[in-house]
Amino acid sequence: MINSLLAENHKGFLPDRLRTGNFLKWLKRVHAWLGLWGAALGLMFGISGFVLNHRAQMKINAVTPIESAVQVPVPADARDDPKAFGKWFSQYAGIPGHARVRTTPAKEVIWNDKPVQKPAEWQVTLAKPNYSVSATWTEGNSLAEVKRTDTNFWGVITNLHKGVGAGVGWILLVDTLAGALITLCITGFLLWSRLHGPRLAALGLIGGAIAWGCWSVLA
């Protein structure tokens, strides 16, 4: 009788087709291929994350930007408002997309112990993984200072790590990594449980407790 109860307990609550050896083999294959994909991208993110996290303490000079600056005439219509300035600079730099312009209003500052009126400034920055360009225009001027910063291979890797200048394709690629890691966790749990009812129930309770804890903290 005890053996029959144990056998019934190990059957669990899953359909018979999900408790077969073939399904477990399929889970192992999915787990292995997702692990390979996660390892490939994870290696890049791990190295770039290490460089970003320790570049100041360990004085890692892997990222070596090269800067250059020029004075560029600004069309009169681009000086009307920040939105027009950002649109003009996006076309000038050849980087499509919505340019965010940071505005600094005119204010009074103390220079050489005397109050001086500082004119308003507009600044816009556009970026690609391998370089970035910025323009600063001061009210009353007809020229804007345009700076370009080029970076090396390590700079490109760290920019991709942070998503700087990344396009839709890269964002979707990173989403596949996130999805692979989530699926990897699920398949790993299922392989550990061997699809036995008690272990699945334990996983459900643990997962529910973690979800409730996260919801309590974020709510």
Domain assignment present for residue 5? The answer is: no
Average pLDDT over residues 91-118: 82
Structural domains in the chain (count): 2
Residue 216 inside a domain? The answer is no
In this structure, are residues 107 and 96 in contact, taking their beta carbons and an 8 Å threshold? no
Q: Are 59 and 70 in a shared domain?
A: no
pLDDT tens-digit series, residues 183-217: 888 877 777 766 665 655 665 666 666 666 667 77
Query: Based on the domain organization, do 185 and 114 belong to the same domain?
Result: no
Q: How far apart are CA 93 and CA 70, in angstroms?
A: 13
Same domain flag for 112 and 161? no
Residue 150's DSSP bridge partners are 66, 131
**Is residue 39 domain-resident?**
yes
pLDDT for position 21 = 65
| pLDDT digit string, tens, across residues 132-188 | 999 999 988 899 999 999 988 888 888 888 888 777 888 888 888 888 888 888 877
Q: What is the pTM of this model?
A: 0.60
Q: Report how far residue 158's alpha carbon sits from residue 52's, in angstroms, rounded to the nearest whole number.
A: 7
79 and 181 inside one domain: no
In terms of domains, do 139 and 111 share one? Answer: yes
Mean pLDDT for the stretch of residues 115-130: 87
Identify the CA nearest to 98 among candidates 82, 112, 114: 82
Neighbours of 37 (CB within 10 A): 16
Whether the pLDDT of residue 97 is over 50: the answer is yes
Does residue 2 sit within a domain?
A: no
SS3 145: strand
Q: Do 106 and 139 fall into the same domain?
A: yes
- The pLDDT of 116-120, averaged and rounded, is 83
Clarify whether residues 180 and 73 are in a common domain.
Answer: no
CA 204 to mean position of chain CA atoms: 30
Q: Answer yes or no: is pLDDT of 123 > 90.
A: yes
Per-residue pLDDT at 194 = 66
Domain range enclosing 189? 29-64+154-199
- Given 134, 150, 166, the domain boundary residue is 150
Q: Report whether 150 contacts 159 (CB < 8 A).
A: no
Structure tokens that stand for 35 in this block: 């692990």
pLDDT in tens, 41-89: 888 888 888 877 776 666 666 777 888 999 999 999 988 888 999 999 9
Shared domain for 58 and 158, answered yes or no, is yes
pLDDT of 1-29, one tens digit each? 434 433 444 444 455 555 556 777 777 88
**Whether residues 60 and 70 fall in one domain:** no
